[in-house]
Amino acid sequence: MKKFIPIIFLGFASGIAGSYTYGLFHKSEPIIIQATNPTNKVFANYKSQESINMTGDFVAASAQSTPSVVFIQTVGTNAQSSWFDWYFNGSSQVASSGSGVIFSDNGYIITNNHVIQKADKIEVIHERKTYQAKIVGTDPSTDLAILKVEAEGLPAVKIGNSKNLQIGEWVLAVGNPFNLTSTVTAGIVSAKARNINVVNSQFPLESFIQTDAAINPGNSGGALVNSKGELVGINTAILSKTGSYTGYGFAVPVDIVVKVVKDLIKYGCVQKAFIGAEVSEVNTSVAEKHHLKDLSGVIVTYLQKDGAAEKIGLKKGDIILKLNDIPVNTRSEFEELLAYHNPGDKIKITFKSDSKLTDESVTLTNREGTTAMLVKQVTTSQNLGASFETVSKVERDKLNIANGVKISGIKNGLIARMGLPEGFIITSINKVAINSPEELIEILEKIKGRVMIEGLSSNGARSYYNFYF
């Protein structure tokens, strides 16, 4: 027994020494979270778990933004009423609702175009007070619209910045889903520059902010705000198989919204800048077809004849790498960068043609191929129940037509009874070329007997309609 005492003593002493040594080098301190990738811009500056605000100040952000979001109710006439309804002078009234955001304290309200598109009457409800609203302007290419109510001192939303919005950043969706006014939901920015093909326009601009904050029917036109309560987007669409929230919503970035709204207020239409080219993403098959070494940039798929891009030497199949030294790798990024500019602006374009890298300055143009600021000119006929505008040069070139008049704002009237769809372009009536809205209205208001209308649908498909009056 005595011979084991030294061994026991030695083991006990070793245990004490080991515990003391462990304590010296492993003091109780907060766990430090280091960025595993020092180049990661989102997390590189975060040093501890306490420095990451995992919830954001949602209470303050809600209090800041909720007073600036309004409830919109509309009443319109169903333009697709049957011939039975027309025969008995009947009509089908359609009521719907959505959301809006107060842009200025004197009554300008931002919403989605699809919220008010077919409305005969628009009411804006703010803090239980109802205002009659009029449409100042719409932009189908971004699905945005601006309304005006007669009021002063309204709580205008605080404008944020969407260019600096980070993926993973907390955001709130504020709106009126299912007529539940002043509803706030939270989520994060899931992605940016998303194109989901929901905008029905010849030149759609889709560069959506994607979020998992719950967005439902009625949220359209409402606010997407950051943790400071600043507007970073206008909620527009959901991706769902059921029609309700199942994961992701999409918002127009506020930097685009501000440009569109200011143009609509000042000019009645958006001063869209064109480069005279269309692009698509570079994928593996495209890279193999054009013998590209990597997937960087976007590939030119269409060039407008005598357009700005063609004038600087761009060709189909060339790869555009940068606009104003900002890399572009998707069509959405390309179109978003152009959307911030006006006709007449000069931008630097970096492109690769036949393996040669080139920098050129290009002057952007308007839809008529000039650098002037345009004012929207729409002619409305009460008898025909629709509005009409001349098809722009950019659109004529793309559709390969020499003339045409586009239909919009279809309500009760002859156009609805004929079944002509929204966005349809009439190129001729009884083989007579149509060049202006006034010419079209004069012919259709007086014509008798057999009528043959030739034109193109919104997707460019040629169509023919035959009628007898």
> What confidence tier does 56 reach under pLDDT thresholds 50, 70, 90?
low
Strands (E), 403-448: 405-408, 425-429, 432-433
Rounded to whole angstroms, the Cα distance separating 138 from 122 reads: 14
Tell me the residue range of the domain where 250 lies.
Answer: 170-267
* Residue 257, C-beta contacts closer than 8 angstroms, at least 6 positions apart: 110, 142, 144, 231, 233, 234
Rounded to whole angstroms, the Cα distance separating 92 from 81 reads: 6
Whichever domain contains 384, its CATH number is: 2.30.42.10
> What confidence tier does 78 reach under pLDDT thresholds 50, 70, 90?
low
Pair (256, 284) in one structural domain:
no
pLDDT digit string (tens) for 263-311?
Answer: 999 999 999 999 999 999 999 988 888 888 889 999 999 999 999 999 9
Q: What is the mean pLDDT of residues 427-431?
A: 95
Q: Where a domain ends, among 93, 118, 148?
A: 148
Rounded to whole angstroms, the Cα distance separating 160 from 162 reads: 7
Flag whether 373 is in a domain. no
Q: What is the pLDDT of residue 49?
A: 36
> What confidence tier does 317 reach under pLDDT thresholds 50, 70, 90?
very high
Pair (204, 237) in one structural domain:
yes
Pair (288, 262) in one structural domain:
no
Residue 397 appears among annotated catalytic residues: no
Task: Residue 362: name the closest of 314, 308, 324 by CA.
Answer: 308
Number of residues assigned to the chain: 469
Q: What is the pLDDT of residue 52?
A: 39
Residue 341 appears among annotated catalytic residues: no
Q: Choosing from 99, 220, 381, 392, which is the catalytic residue?
A: 220
Tell me the DSSP string of 136-196: EEEETTTTEEEEE-S-SS--PPPB--STTPPTT-EEEEEE-GGG--SEEEEEEEEEEEE--
Residue 114 appears among annotated catalytic residues: yes
Q: What is the pLDDT of residue 12?
A: 46
pLDDT digit string (tens) for 370-411?
Answer: 999 888 888 999 889 999 999 999 999 989 999 999 998 888
Pair (255, 188) in one structural domain:
yes
Flag whether 157 is in a domain. no
Pair (356, 423) in one structural domain:
no
Cα 121–chain centre separation: 25
Pair (353, 287) in one structural domain:
yes
In this structure, what token pair is assigned to residue 108?
């300008």
Q: Residue 19 pLDDT > 70, yes or no?
A: no
> What residue has token string 């194109």?
195
> What confidence tier does 225 reach under pLDDT thresholds 50, 70, 90?
very high
Q: What is the pLDDT of residue 342?
A: 95
Q: What is the pLDDT of residue 247?
A: 74
Q: What pTM was computed for the model?
A: 0.79
Flag whether 44 is in a domain. no
- For 50-59, 243-252, 427-436, 445-454, which range has the lowest pLDDT when averaged over its residues? 50-59
Q: How many CB atoms lie within 10 A of CB 175?
A: 31
Q: What is the pLDDT of residue 229?
A: 96
Q: What is the pLDDT of residue 82?
A: 46
Pair (285, 237) in one structural domain:
no
Pair (304, 244) in one structural domain:
no
The domain tally of the chain equals 4
Q: How many CB atoms lie within 10 A of CB 418?
A: 17
Q: What is the mean pLDDT of residues 440-455?
A: 92
Q: What is the pLDDT of residue 44?
A: 35
Flag whether 425 is in a domain. yes
Whichever domain contains 198, its CATH number is: 2.40.10.10
Pair (218, 184) in one structural domain:
yes
b/e map 55-88, b = 16+ CB within 10 Å: ebeeeebbebbbbbbbbbbbebbebeeeeeeeee
Q: Choosing from 99, 114, 207, 318, which is the catalytic residue?
A: 114
Q: Are 177 and 215 in contact (CB under 8 A)?
A: yes
* Residue 278, C-beta contacts closer than 8 angstroms, at least 6 positions apart: 300, 301, 302
Q: Where a domain ends, among 249, 267, 285?
A: 267
Q: What is the pLDDT of residue 1?
A: 46
Flag whether 387 is in a domain. yes
pLDDT digit string (tens) for 133-173?
Answer: 999 999 999 999 999 999 999 999 999 999 999 999 999 99
Q: Choosing from 139, 143, 255, 263, which is the catalytic residue?
A: 143
pLDDT greater at residue 33 or residue 149: 149
Pair (88, 139) in one structural domain:
yes
